[in-house]
Amino acid sequence: MKCNYFNFLIIARILVLCVNFIAIAFLIQQTQLAYRIELFIFLAFIQVIDLIRYVNSAQRDLAKFLFAIKYEDYSIILLIKN
């Protein structure tokens, strides 16, 4: 269940990023809306940073879990993020 939710959130973030890039392409073609391109580029930059942080946090949680198993540390509490 957790894996499916993780995959869903990754796909949702990538789809929103694609829509943002389509909007940037549309704005490049429309010369009267050219001043809004910077806003959408900034939003794309923020979305990429958010995607990287989300994936890194999942990897960190997995690494903590595996190290806890390796060193037989059963006192660690891992919270499942929804």
Domain residue spans of the chain: 2-70
**Cα dihedral value 11, 14, 15, 17, nearest 10:** 160
Give pLDDT tens digits for 18-69.
999 999 998 888 877 777 888 999 999 999 999 999 999 889 888 888 888 8
How far apart, in Å, are the Cα atoms of 30 and each of 25, 26, 34, 39?
9, 6, 7, 15
pLDDT at 82 over 60: no
Judge whether 9 and 51 are in contact, CB under 8 Å: no
| b/e map 33-50, b = 16+ CB within 10 Å | eeeebeebeeebeebeee
